[in-house]
Amino acid sequence: MKLLMFLITNFWFRPEERGNAEGTSFDEALLAWIQSEMHDEADRTGIIRKLVKNIRWLAKKHETSRIILHSFAHLSDSKSTPEFADDIIKETAERLRDREYDVHIVPFGAFHEFKMHVKGPSLAKVFKSF
């Protein structure tokens, strides 16, 4: 599992197909880029637990309750099946929502154009590999 998190001032995305010409925008949130790898499929429960724990840790550090989850299959050469990657993100979102987080998921399986403004402190950018 690869997890790259950013504390953002603004994040905007639009599907490459441009079905929504205006795109979608979020302000003041924690943006988590998630790549599930082949070996993660053998430890689904452990992977979800670690994802939730790491995301909650950084959200608490920055006192934010808004979280954006984005599947991003470019953090490693190893990739899980698309179905597994999508399910992991959905279940992570569900567990975070159960803990009162405002969670949004960037739609899975599409290419997106995006812009983001990341804050400057050192903990505004965190990478985890597990």
> Does residue 21 register a pLDDT over 70?
no
Domain that holds residue 90: 2-129
φ and ψ at residue 47, rounded to 5 degrees: -65, -45
CA angle 22, 25, 27 (to 5 degrees): 155
Q: What is the pLDDT of residue 18?
A: 60
The reported pTM is 0.92
Question: What tokens appear for 56 in the block?
Answer: 């909650």
Q: Is 13 exposed, middle or buried (0-12, 13-18, 19+ CB in 10 A)?
A: buried
Contact 112, 44 (CB under 8 A): no
Q: What is the pLDDT of residue 56?
A: 98
Confidence category of residue 15, pLDDT binned at 50, 70, 90: confident
β-pairing verdict for 102-105 and 66-71:
parallel
CA 86 to chain centre: 11
CATH number at residue 67: 3.50.80.10
Confidence category of residue 20, pLDDT binned at 50, 70, 90: low
Rounded Cα–Cα distance for residues 3 and 35 (Å): 7
Q: What is the pLDDT of residue 75?
A: 80
Q: What is the pLDDT of residue 74?
A: 82
Based on the structure, what is the number of domains in the chain? 1
Q: 88-111 pLDDT, tens per residue?
A: 999 999 999 999 999 999 999 888
Q: 25-79 pLDDT, tens per residue?
A: 999 999 999 999 999 999 999 999 999 999 999 999 999 999 999 998 888 889 9
CA 67 to chain centre: 8
